A and B are shown apart, each in its own frame.
Chain A
Amino acid sequence: MADPKLVPVPSRGMVPERDVLERPVLETLHLGVDFGGLVAVDEFNMVIGKTEIAGLIGPNGAGKTTVFNLLTKVYQPTRGTILLGDKDTSGMNTSQVCKAGMARTFQNIRLFSEMTVLENVLVGHHNSIAYHTPSAIFRLPSFWKGEKKAREYSLELLSIFNMEDTAEAKAGSLPYGAQRRLEIVRALATNPSILLLDEPAAGMNPTETAELMENIVKIRDTFGIAILLIEHDMKLVMGICEGIAVLNYGKIIAKGTPDEIKNNPLVIEAYLGKKEEEGEEVNA
């Protein structure tokens, strides 16, 4: 019998119609992780289309950030498969997953606060810069070329988000909203095919949130990538997400479009608890 060559088998998930002919950018099959005796995440199956803006919501402690940590291999999954494009990420570590095309931001901002805004973006761009250590030490032409290209690219990226004026400022000195934006820009600099945003609107007022929503759609439209976000702000989620998965106690309890999710009784129960009596009004 010939050696069976393993090929990823796309599952029967849902993607936006425009992406239906392309391979999904991210697919998880039976993904799960246990911590000691605790099953933190189980049977996490999700498909994200190439240019889809997807949302992952659920009550606090449901395991949403744990899912992100599984996808980015901060934790190694106990079971299941993650397919990033056509690559199976089993055995990869965090930096390898990033090189394969998955970038992320963090719930508690993780900037390089002692470095400048521009340097933060340059670090994100690290793997796209072409020269090696000997070139750097002997200051060969490839070093100068590489640095120049990287700087230009990073400044351009910053200007898309109107941040080019702050390029030389220390990242830690930026106001909160700008720091969140910088984290996104840095993630974009890694040239991802999917961007994972962990509570990007946390701590933002309605104006900033609206701006963020515009920016996220702009990112998808400009770069042609997919975005998966964790959020508690329902206006944002319902406003820009095309596909939503709802997590509770580590399991997906509902999946669908914003309208389907909004009216799903299981979702309402997860957030607000069981309806006590008949006729009691439940405010979603």
Chain B
Amino acid sequence: MTLGWIGEALASAPVQHALIAGTEIAFLSGLVGAFVMIRGQSFAGHVLTDVGTTGGAGAYLVGMNGWFGFLSFGVLASVGMELAGGRTRGERDLATGVVLSLALGFGALFLYLDAQLAHANASMAVLFGSLFTLDPALVPWISLTAAACLVAMLLIWRPLALASVNPDLARVRGVPVRAISIAFMVVLAVAVETDALVAGSLLATALIVGPAATAARFTASPLRAGLAGGLLGALLVAASVLLSYDSYTWLPQHTSWPVSFFVAAFTFFAYAIAAATHRVAFQRRAEVELP
């Protein structure tokens, strides 16, 4: 088999932009995801994407770029959730749920109004991603934002790790736990909302949780899990972009399969395989250790 179609894909400007923006943000997502795992914030991460839906739909409504809508609503919601936080995880989830359902309600209204005002494609772009129709002028901004978030993560890495694993000890050691948590939530929001461009607001969670959960099966160190998750995420997104480009020729009716489908399928199966491997390896070790 020749790899001609990959060369052809790489020569196309939209694919280049999609690859650059997609892999950068997937790397950041994997890194952030390592802490989402430790802190048990999968639901919070998911809520941010739904709140982003509202922001994205609202932005289209007033004629702004969707990304700014995603970002502004996501960052606001992340800070709000952190400040409102409940005592236990279940309670926190329920309080989060009420905010979420309110945001979804307004999202429904905005998308409905979008459709009424003849931005018919807006709703699909918000919900299912718009990586191939990315505004080229936005790509450098996405790169810059991703880089800024990476630097922020590296700056707060050690206190964040301590505060995530043992908040009481962190407080005793003089770590500003609250401020660190809020900073982390803002970075998480930026990563999630930019993922929404790649995979759509419905699926952005996959890139945060999937690669990180896969990596967490093999290492307990947040740094190693973060780096491995980031690389895995970037790889999956690159493969998804290329396959989505090629899928146009797969079926007679010539519709390209959405990037978000490939991202979701790859992350799920990566996790399933990792879980199975881990189980087998663990069992073998247990057998060896028995006298």
Decide if A and B are genuine partners.
Answer: no
Contact surface of B with A, Cβ cutoff 8 Å: none
